[in-house]
Chain A
Amino acid sequence: MKYWREPLDLKDIRVPHGEIHVLVERCKGCGWCIEYCPRGVLEISSEINSKGYHPPMAAKANACVSCGLCELLCPEFAIYVVEMEGEVVLL
């Protein structure tokens, strides 16, 4: 991230990192998580589950900041994020 002036506490800020888990069999391919991830982490995958839907995959897994919006938005309880201890996202 480019700053016009470096924030004074930049070295103290630790942005969390999350690991995406997809429960492939629950997904119904609605696409909401992909659309609204603020970091563009998710993309539609080419694999299909047993119902014929394409679940999401974490294409930019490193960018995930564990905000949890995908987990909250998903209507199927098919995706959740686990905050990784000690890992930091470099902005």
Chain B
Amino acid sequence: MLKMNGYRLDKTLETHVEAEGLKEEIHGCHPMDDLLRTDRLPHIWCPGCGLGTALTCFLSALRKSDLNLDKVAVVSGIGCTGRVAGYVRLDSFHTTHGRAIPFATGLKLANPELKVVVFSGDGDLVTIGGNHFIHAARRNMDIAVICVNNFNYGMTGGQAGATTPIGGITTTSPYGNYEYPFNVSALAKASGAVYVARWTVLHARRLARSMTEALLKPGFSLVEVISPCPTGFGRRHKQRQGLDTLRYYHEHGVIRHGADPHETDIGLGGALIEGKFVDVDKPTFLEQRVRRLEQVLNR
């Protein structure tokens, strides 16, 4: 029978470890540990998943950006990438599927001092959340969006999503996907994003650098992170391990800074074009608002 101690739990929840010594050994040593909720490691992501790398690059980028970490808020949605919010030792919000961007909008507008980062997956951000994605980009809302694209809905077992390439085998496209996918970078540019970059997790240093640029750039910045998902996607495409997918990126990755994102579609095979595609300056939503209200109301 369950005992309830008023509204308090009887026990705290900690990862079970064999010996006390091991626990001390694990937490606190790694240079990123002060930015992580180490009491929740090891994380839930599969061996060979690129999310850990994307997160490492993000934390490295945060450090480089010199932002006040008490003012950085991370908002994520649902999915494997969405779990990132639970692992960072920052103000973080794990919201509903597809709705991280409007939540982030509310946060930013209510406290413009916050640096709001949305860290979520392709299914969450451009499939179910597509509407919010394009509108936040349209408004040039000052948020940095890290979209990890692994071409499927990984958390639920590997279903097709709006970024699944034609021919992609998933649990809901068992004969090969025949729907045209979105090109996330192109979508961002077309909607008005001021910074658009795409990197695979293999190109970790360039990825971290782009993330720093996105964090420091005012306006809607998008970093599309191409990541392996061996369990949901890779193993159905002859990439049984994350390492196989990294080798694929090594072979197929082509860096083309300034490329027109509309010419960078990702298919099964073929070139995987990466780089910084867009980096322009445009007044943000809040700047536009202030300017207009000052003009009209003299305040």
Task: Tell whether any CB of A sits under 8 Å from a CB of B in the complex.
Answer: yes
- Interface residues in B, total, Cβ within 8 A: 37
A73 in contact with B53 (CB, 8 Å): yes
30 cross-chain CB contacts under 8 A: A23-B30, A25-B17, A25-B26, A25-B42, A26-B26, A26-B41, A29-B47, A30-B241, A30-B242, A32-B242, A32-B243, A35-B243, A35-B247, A53-B47, A69-B205, A71-B31, A72-B53, A72-B57, A72-B204, A72-B208, A73-B53, A74-B53, A74-B56, A75-B45, A75-B50, A75-B51, A75-B53, A75-B55, A75-B242, A78-B30
A37 to B187, CA, bound (A): 35
Chain A residues whose C-beta falls within 8 Å of the C-beta of B49 in the assembled complex: 75
A21-77: which residues lie under 8 A (CB-CB) from chain B?
A: 21, 23, 25-26, 28-32, 35-36, 50, 53, 69, 71-77
- Chain A hits for B242, CB < 8 A: 30, 32, 75
Nearest B-chain residue to A76, judged by Cβ: B52
A33 to nearest B CB, angstroms? 10
The answer for the CA separation of A72 and B243 in the assembled complex, in Å, is 15
Interchain residue pairs A-B with the least CB separation, the first 5: A75-B52, A28-B47, A72-B204, A30-B48, A75-B53
With a cutoff of 8 Å between Cβ atoms, the chain B residues found around residue A74 in the complex are 52-53, 56
What interface size band does chain A fall in?
20 to 34
B246 A50 Cβ-Cβ under 8 A: no
- Mark A residues whose CB is within 8 Å of B: 21, 23, 25-26, 28-32, 35-36, 50, 53, 69, 71-78, 80
Q: Are B26's CB and A23's CB within 8 A? A: yes
B13 on interface, CB distance cutoff 8 Å: no
Asked if B66 is an interface residue, CB under 8 A from chain A, the answer is no
A80 partner residues in chain B, CB cutoff 8 A = 29-31
Rounded to whole angstroms, the CA-CA distance of A75 and B32 in the bound complex is: 12
User: A76 to B42, Cβ gap below 8 A?
Assistant: yes
B residues less than 8 Å from A23 (CB atoms): 25-26, 29-30
Is B287 interfacial (CB-CB < 8 Å)? no
A74–B52 alpha-carbon span in the complex (Å): 7
Task: Verify B204–A69 contact, CB threshold 8 A.
Answer: yes
